[in-house]
Amino acid sequence: MRVKQLVFLMAMSFGALTSVKAQDTVTMNLKDCMRYAVEHSTKMRIQQADNRDAQIDRRDAILDAFTPQVSGSTYAYYNFGRSIDPETNTYSLTTSFHNGYSLSAGIVLFNGFQAVNNLKITKTAQEMGVTKEQQMEDQICLATMEAYCNVLYYSEMEKALRGQVATAEKALQLATKQEELGQKSHADVVQMQSDMAERQYQMTTCRNNLNNAMITLKDAMFWPIDEPLKIDGSIGETMPLLVHSEDVPMMVEQAKNRLPSVALAEGTLNNARLALKTARWQTLPTLALYGGWSSSYFTYPGKDGYVSTPYFDQIMNNRGEYVQLSMSIPIYDRFSKHSNIAKRKNALDRAEADYDQTLQIVEAEVRRAIADRDGTADALRQADTRAALQQEAFALNGKRFEQGLISSIEYQTASNNYLNALAEQLNARLQYFIKNSVVNYYKGISYIDQ
C-alpha cells in the first residue's frame, strides 16, 4: 500500500476576516483563529478598560497641573429668635431671612513638582497600557497557535490511524484466507486480530485527544464550546527548511529594544525614579494661591414698618473679594515623608533589579529560541528521512507478508515503526513551525503578521 507523507503548509490564507461569528460555517486558518481570539478575548477587554482608566488619569493629571479648583456655594435660611442685625450690628429678636452666595478658586503654585512628575508618570502609565495590550495580544496569538497545531497533529494522526485500521482489516482478511488454505497458522490470525484491535484502540485514543485539543483551541479563542469549529487542515508540500544565519548578539539587542516585557520593565523603572524625586521634593514648603467673592441678602419678613433694601442692591453692596497667598512649611509629621522617601528608594531598587532580570531573561529566551529552532530543524530533517524509509519498509513488508515470507509479528513491528516515524515527523514539523515563529517574533514580526 502506498501511503503519502503527511505534511503541513501552515500559513495558507483564504481571505482577511475581520470578525467571525461562531455560527458561521467558514473554514478558519491559523491567522483567522488568532484574529478571532484577539477580538473576543476577555483579557483584552479587561486590559482595554485599564487603558481607558490610564487615559482618565492622564487627563486628571493635566487638569491638576494647569487648572485651579473652583467651587461655589449658596445658602438661605430663616432665623427665629435672637440674632445679630447686619445693619446695626445689634441683637434682634425679630424673625429674619438670610441668603448668601460665594465663589472661590485656588491653585497650587509649588508642591515639590508633584504635579509635573504626575504628568510624566501618567504619560508613562498610558504608554505601558498600550504595551501591555500588545503583549497580551502576542500571548493570546501564541497560545492559539499552539492549540491550533495540536488540533492539526491529532487530526492527521487520526487519518493515519484510520488508514492503519483499514490496512489491518485487509491483512486480517488475507491471513484468514491463508489459514483456510493452510498457509498461515491460527496463531498468525490471532496476532493479526490483536494488531487490528491495537490500531482501533489507538484511533479511539487519538480521537479523544483530538476532542480535548479542539476544546483547548476553542477556549484559547473564546469560541463557544458547544458550537462547531472548522479549521484549515489542508495538506500541502513539505515546508521548506531554511538555512538560518542570524547575528545573535544583534538579534538580542533588537529584542531588548522591541519586546513589550522590556518596555514595561523600563516604564516601571522610570516611574519609580519619578516617584522618588517627588517624595524628596515633598520635604519643601508648599505654595498656593486662592481667591474668592461673596455677597449676602437679609430682610425681616413680617416686621411692621420695616422696609428692606432691594435684593440686587444688597447683593452689590454686601459683596466682598479676597486674594490669599499661603505657604505650608512641613516641620514635624512623625517622619512620614522620610519614611515615604525610604520606601520609594526600595521601590526603585526593586524596579532596577526587575529591569536587569528582564533583560537577562530576554537574552536567554532569544538564544534558547534560536537553539530550539535549529535543533528542531535538524530533528525534522531526520524525521523526514526516517519516515520515508519506514514508509518504504512498511510497503515492502506488506508485500512480503502477503507472500508469506514474514510472520505477523514482523509485519506488526514494521507497522508500528512506520506509525511511530509518522507521528514523530508530524510532531517535528509542527514544532519547527512554532519554534520558527517564536524566533521571527523576537526579530520584530508579530505572530499574527507572519
The mean pLDDT value for 44-59 works out to 94
Q: Check: CB of residue 306 under 8 Å from CB of residue 130.
A: no
C-alpha cell at 358: 528582564
What pLDDT is attached to residue 25?
A: 58
Tens digits of residue pLDDT in 255-296: 999 999 999 999 999 999 999 999 999 889 999 999 999 999
Pairing, β 286-299 against β 96-110? antiparallel
Mean pLDDT of 127-152: 94
Residue-wise over 170-209: b if at least 16 C-beta within 10 A, else e?
ebbebbbebbeeeebeeebbebbeebbebbbebbeebbeb
pLDDT tens across 339-360, in order? 999 999 999 999 999 999 999 9
Q: Which long-range contacts (CB under 8 A, 24 or more apart) does 308-317 make?
A: 315/101
C-alpha cell at 8: 503541513
pLDDT of residue 234: 65
Measured between alpha carbons, how far is residue 382 from residues 14, 153, 342, 385, 429 in Å? 32, 18, 59, 5, 11
Of 235, 169, 173, the residue nearest 203 (C-alpha): 169
C-alpha 259/C-alpha 443 separation (Å) is 10
Least confident interval from 33-37, 232-236, 372-376, 435-439: 232-236
What's the rounded mean pLDDT across residues 222-238? 78
Helix (H) or strand (E) holding 130: helix 114-180
What is the reported pLDDT for 406? Answer: 79
Average pLDDT over residues 238-247: 67
Closest listed residue to residue 184, CA positions, set 405, 368, 337, 12: 405
Q: Look at the block and give the residue holding cell 503541513.
A: 8
Q: Looking at residues 113-121, what average pLDDT do you find?
A: 90
